[in-house]
Amino acid sequence: MNLDEMRSLLTENGYKNTTQRNGMFLALEKHAGDHLSPEQLHSVLAEEGNHVGIATIYRTLQIFESLGIVHKLDFDDRAYRYEIVNQDEAHMHHHLICERCEKVTELHVDLLDKLEAIVEKDYGFTITDHAVKIFGICKACGEKQEETLE
3-state secondary structure 77-124: CCCEEEEECCCCCCCCCEEEEECCCCCEEEECCCCCHHHHHHHHHHHC
Please report the pLDDT score of residue 119 as a whole number.
Answer: 92
pLDDT, mean over the chain: 87
39, 79 in Cβ contact below 8 A?
yes
Enumerate the domain spans of the chain. Answer: 1-88, 90-150
> Which residue from 88, 79, 131 is spatially nearest to 110, judged by alpha carbons?
131
**Residue 150: how many CB atoms within 10 A of its CB?**
4
1-88 sits in which CATH class? Answer: mainly alpha
Tell me how far apart the alpha carbons of residues 97 and 103 are, in angstroms, rounded to a whole number.
6
107, 93 in Cβ contact below 8 A?
yes
Max mean pLDDT among 69-73, 77-81, 104-108 falls in 69-73
5, 15 in Cβ contact below 8 A?
no
More confident residue, 59 or 149: 59
pTM of the entire structure? 0.71
* Tens of pLDDT, residues 37-59: 999 999 999 999 999 999 999 99
Classify domain 90-150 by CATH architecture.
2-Layer Sandwich (3.30)
